């Protein structure tokens, strides 16, 4: 398998310059800013809890994509048709308001002699989701990483999600959803593959 390094240029090098203590103090400041008292009983531990939660929300900055795609399998009797994983849960945050993005991703690739473990497709979605994102960029990052990391003949990614920056604030359109698609290789150049992918992900059965 061809290993492509540095798939993700957004990985931060080195350790964060901001300590947990500094982050907690920042959240205390925000609590005061909204008009609350960070020293009252119900809020005194909130800065620590929020700091811990943010580590989970944004853990993707500390994860490498390349390592998730290193182990592939060649003993698949020459299988070279579409591998599709539907309804991978997406939980991210928009970079404009840091509001949640909640939805699902559908990911497919056309193997080039070797396949990757199914859990790794979901893992790639997870790593990129756990960062400040736009849905458009998230869709492209997942596709580009799989295309390069697997040396695939083609990759297709669709994300269907709800943005709480639209549903809870601003225009407040609670039922609005957003769909993004990105196709590479044969999925882009051969509409028969693209149409099969779109038909499969629209099938509710």
What's 123's domain CATH number? 3.30.1130.10
Provide the token pair at 166: 């639209």
Strand order in the sheet with 154-163: 132-133, 83-94, 100-110, 154-163, 178-185
Tracing tokens 């925000």 back to the chain, one arrives at 30
In a shared domain, residues 147 and 91: yes
**pLDDT of the chain, 205 residues: tens digit per residue:** 343 444 444 445 555 589 999 999 999 999 999 999 999 999 999 999 999 999 999 999 999 888 778 788 888 888 999 999 999 999 999 999 999 999 999 999 999 989 999 999 999 999 999 999 999 999 999 999 999 999 999 999 999 999 999 999 988 888 899 999 999 999 999 999 999 999 999 987 6
Decide: pTM greater than 0.85. Answer: yes
In a shared domain, residues 51 and 137: no
In a shared domain, residues 52 and 81: no
Residues recognised as catalytic: 94-97, 135, 163, 165
């Amino acid at each position: 398998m061809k290993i492509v390094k540095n798939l993700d240029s957004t990985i931060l090098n080195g350790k964060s310059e901001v300590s947990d203590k500094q982050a907690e103090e920042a959240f205390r400041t925000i609590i005061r800013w909204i008009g609350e008292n960070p020293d009252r009983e119900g809020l005194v531990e909130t800065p620590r809890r929020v700091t811990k939660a943010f580590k989970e929300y944004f853990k993707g900055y500390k994860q490498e994509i390349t390592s998730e795609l290193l182990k592939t399998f060649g003993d698949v009797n020459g299988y070279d048709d579409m591998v599709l994983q539907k309804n991978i849960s997406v939980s991210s945050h928009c970079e404009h308001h840091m509001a949640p993005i909640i939805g699902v991703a559908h990911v497919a690739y056309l193997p080039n002699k070797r396949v990757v473990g199914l859990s790794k497709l979901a893992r790639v979605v997870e790593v990129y989701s756990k960062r400040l994102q736009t849905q458009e960029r998230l869709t492209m990052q997942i596709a580009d990483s799989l295309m390069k990391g697997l040396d695939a003949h083609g990759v297709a990614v669709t994300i269907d999600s709800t943005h709480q920056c639209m549903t809870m604030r601003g225009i407040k359109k609670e039922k609005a959803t957003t769909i993004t698609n990105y196709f590479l290789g044969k999925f882009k150049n051969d509409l028969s593959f693209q149409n099969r992918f779109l038909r499969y992900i629209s099938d509710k059965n």
